[in-house]
Amino acid sequence: MNGKFFDLKKEKQDRMINASLKVFALNGYRHASTDDIVREAAISKGLLFHYFGSKLGVYTFVYDYSVRYMTLELRTAVDPGEQDIFELFRQTESARLHAMRGYPHMQQFLNRSLAEDVSEVLVAVEEKKNDLLAVYEAIRAQADLRALPDGVDGAKLWKMLDLTIKGLMTERFQDASFQPDMLFQEVVGYLDMMKALTFR
């Protein structure tokens, strides 16, 4: 992590982080522009490069920051003793909601990062990517899929819920009036509906 950056006022830090998350989430690394980041953050390009050195430096910083932040939120929100698949999803989304209140584009940035294909980016974030995937895998391992009714494939149900939530997020993210709390309520509605259908 960049120690000098954290000497800045928190408001300026968050402006720079949020601008970077938004630009990378919308465009991916290859098509993201540092000009767009500095415009969004209302800072000079010289200041951005002073703290991060390059576009790759910005990306790896916000990736590392996002993984640390999201890991903390997940460990706080997800009960390590919970086994119900639907409740685990709800708690996971609650963690993401809490993160998105301060950093609205963080989860979409993390989702988008999974599709990155630029080799220097893949190498730079590999360790942190594996750290975050391990946190999600640990949550998934908590689910007692034996509690599901006969004929319900737990792995397919998990994938369906995951893809539904990612799809909702992508759809809402396109809307300039994106509100994390509204997305959370929509996700919970889908989880409740799927739970009712699963156990009917």
- Model confidence over 169-190: pLDDT tens digits? 888 887 767 788 999 999 999 9
The pLDDT mean for the chain works out to 93
The reported pTM is 0.90
- Interior angle at CA 71, CA 180 and CA 177, nearest 5: 15
Kindly list the domain boundaries of the chain, sorted by start residue: 7-198
* CATH number of this structure's domain 7-198: 1.10.357.10
Q: Tell me the Cα Rg of the chain.
A: 18
Which tokens in the block code for residue 47? 């200041």
Which amino acid makes up residue 81?
G
How many angstroms separate the CA atoms of 186 and 75, rounded? 23
What's the pLDDT score for residue 133?
Answer: 94
**Is residue 125 within 8 Å of residue 63, measured between CB atoms?**
yes
What's the pLDDT score for residue 1?
Answer: 56
Which amino acid makes up residue 163?
L
How many angstroms separate the CA atoms of 135 and 84, rounded? 17
The conformational region for residue 103 under phi > 0 = left, psi -120 to 50 = alpha, else beta, is: beta
What's the pLDDT score for residue 50?
Answer: 93
For the chain, which ranges sit under pLDDT 50?
A: none
DSSP 166: H
pLDDT tens-digit map of 6-39: 888 999 999 999 999 999 999 999 999 999 999 9
Maximum Cα interatomic distance, the chain, rounded to a whole number of Å: 61
What's the pLDDT score for residue 175?
Answer: 76
DSSP 175: S
